[in-house]
């Protein structure tokens, strides 16, 4: 099938939820993807942080083949061999004690919100002062289902679907005083991304996260940390909160967990787990044998890659800083490990740079209008960083020229 025929068929048959890039990918291997015309692309986006081991990693293909031959699905009415094994590995690296498996990030986050409400009910039963408010952050992103949207502090995602879940307040990002003002005994959980992803690669300050931890610890409210984008090695530690020396009550993960298969998890403590009992929460597909067997393999490979992520991530950060020093259109470089963002002074410029990199066969994306987002696979080497930096350097130079917008528009038009 050609790109044109796929576009035509999708326009007719699919709900128009995406404004896709006009590329039809047919194959991937390692750090590269190939489109239907045979053009090769260096992947610096990993399917939005999912393909952390690149494409077709031998350990993942091996686990997939082995498990697909044995058993794909049993439902959560029965046992299989892999949930406990995967939970053991995840609790060990997170410092938490219990896991629940599901299919996606938003579903993990929904589980976390429900658990916070359920625990508050168990711990203060029979008409104690209501403790069901959740505080979330402005500029956050937690997913597309109703609870996740209700805690997502960006109007553009929420507006069409109001009214959302009640009982949620928003705190200004990294504003310690605002957090203190809004926090009281009616709050059952404070919700944060350690590094906001969709919000433009914005790390929490140490002071803010510490204050959230201190306030919640005093009242027994939960610190609920969304590590769906920044967790599982992405920042050079297993979890981004480990850079802060803080231990949350609930952590959510998803994206890279099963190296491309849908799998999410929430991790929590024994105390918080008492909020749930059989029948209260569940999923048909979540934590199936295929996804869990693959996730175990992912974590084994991840263990070996951690020092590499730190090394290449630091190098990438330095190179981006050097571009910032050179190009006046770069406002800031942010992030940790291999979760990096470059904030430009214009949304049009950011759009143009993404388009120009795509032309040159390098995949990145733009988030929060002005931020170039880099989420490369953990297996990139410094030579791939150099390649991306050269392309960025030239895109930033040409996007600074006044005639670039015109030539960019004609390029995209010929693609559309
Ligand atoms: C921090 C964060 N939370 C939640 C989600 C939602 O995950 P999913 O798209 O798997 O539902 C995302 C997705 O981008 C995310 O980045």
From ligand 1's centre to the CA of 264, what distance in Å?
10
Cis peptide before 163 (omega within 30 of 0): yes
Per-residue pLDDT at 127: 57
For 14-26, the pLDDT digits (tens) are: 999 999 999 999 9
The 10s digit of each residue's pLDDT in 101-125 is 999 999 999 999 999 999 999 998 6
- For residue 227, the CA-to-ligand 1 centroid distance in Å is 9
**Residue 14's Cα: distance from chain center in Å?**
25
Q: Is the pLDDT of residue 406 over 70?
A: no
CA nearest neighbour of 321 among 308, 334, 309, 306: 334
Tell me the CA–centroid distance for residue 142 and ligand 1, in Å.
Answer: 5
For residue range 370-392, what is the model confidence (pLDDT) as tens digits?
A: 999 999 999 999 999 999 999 99
Q: Is the CB of 261 under 6 A from ligand 1?
A: no
pLDDT tens digits for 204-242? 999 999 999 999 999 999 999 999 999 999 999 999 999
For residues 236 and 245, give the distance between their C-alpha atoms in angstroms, rounded to a whole number. 14
Q: Which atom, in ligand 1's list, is nearest to the CA of 109? A: 4
Radius of gyration of the chain (CA): 22
Using the mean position of ligand 1's atoms as its centre, give its distance from the Cα of residue 146 in Å: 13
Task: State the DSSP H helix or E strand holding residue 61, giving kind and residue range, or none if neither.
Answer: helix 58-70
40-43 and 32-35 beta bridge pairing: antiparallel
User: What is the pLDDT, as a whole number, of residue 1?
Assistant: 86
Percent of the chain with pLDDT over 70: 95
Q: How confident is the model at residue 176 (pLDDT cuts 50, 70, 90)?
A: very high
Residue 124 backbone dihedrals phi, psi, to 5 degrees: -130, 75
Q: Is 147 in the pocket of ligand 1 (CB under 6 A)?
A: no
Name the residue with the closest Cα to ligand 1, atom 3: 142
Residue with tokens 């960025």: 392
**Alpha-carbon span 41 to 34, nearest angstrom:** 6
Q: Is 109 in the pocket of ligand 1 (CB under 6 A)?
A: yes
Q: Are 151 and 108 in contact (CB under 8 A)?
A: no
Please state at what angle helix 382-400 crosses helix 404-415, rounded to 10 degrees.
Answer: 120
């Amino acid at each position: 099938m050609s790109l044109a025929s796929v576009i035509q068929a999708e326009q007719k048959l699919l709900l128009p939820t995406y404004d896709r890039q006009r590329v039809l990918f047919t194959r991937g291997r390692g750090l590269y993807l190939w489109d239907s015309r045979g053009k090769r692309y260096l992947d610096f986006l990993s399917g939005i942080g999912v393909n952390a081991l690149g494409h077709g990693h031998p350990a993942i293909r091996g686990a997939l083949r082995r498990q697909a031959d044995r058993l794909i699905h049993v439902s959560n009415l029965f046992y299989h061999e892999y949930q406990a094994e995967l939970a053991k590995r995840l609790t060990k690296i997170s410092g938490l004690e219990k896991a629940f498996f599901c299919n996606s990030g938003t579903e993990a986050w929904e589980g976390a919100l429900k658990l916070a409400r359920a625990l508050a009910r168990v711990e203060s039963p029979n008409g104690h002062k209501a403790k069901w408010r959740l505080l979330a952050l402005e500029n956050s992103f937690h997913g597309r289902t109703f609870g996740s949207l209700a805690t997502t502090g960006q109007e553009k995602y929420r507006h069409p679907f109001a009214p959302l879940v009640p009982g949620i307040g928003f705190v200004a990002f990294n504003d310690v005083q605002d957090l203190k003002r809004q926090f009281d005994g009616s709050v059952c959980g404070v919700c944060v991304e350690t590094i906001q992803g969709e919000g433009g690669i914005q790390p929490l300050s140490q002071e803010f996260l510490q204050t959230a931890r201190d306030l919640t610890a005093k009242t027994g409210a939960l610190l609920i940390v969304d590590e769906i984008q920044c967790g599982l090695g992405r920042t050079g530690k297993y979890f981004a909160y480990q850079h802060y020396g803080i231990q949350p009550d609930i952590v959510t993960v998803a994206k890279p967990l099963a190296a491309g298969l849908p799998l999410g998890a929430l991790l929590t403590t024994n105390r918080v787990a008492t909020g749930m009992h059989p029948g209260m929460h569940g999923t048909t597909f979540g934590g199936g044998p295929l996804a869990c067997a693959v996730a175990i393999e992912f974590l084994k490979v991840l263990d070996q890659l951690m020092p590499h992520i730190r090394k290449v991530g630091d190098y990438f950060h330095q190179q981006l800083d050097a571009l910032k020093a050179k190009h006046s259109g770069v406002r800031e470089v942010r992030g940790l490990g291999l979760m990096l963002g470059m904030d430009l002074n214009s949304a049009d410029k950011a759009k143009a740079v993404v388009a120009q990199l795509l032309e040159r066969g390098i995949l990145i994306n733009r988030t929060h209008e002005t931020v170039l987002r880099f989420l490369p696979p953990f297996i990139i080497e410094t030579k791939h960083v150099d390649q991306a930096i050269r392309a960025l350097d030239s895109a930033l130079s040409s996007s600074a020229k006044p005639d670039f917008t015109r030539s960019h528009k004609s390029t995209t038009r010929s693609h559309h």
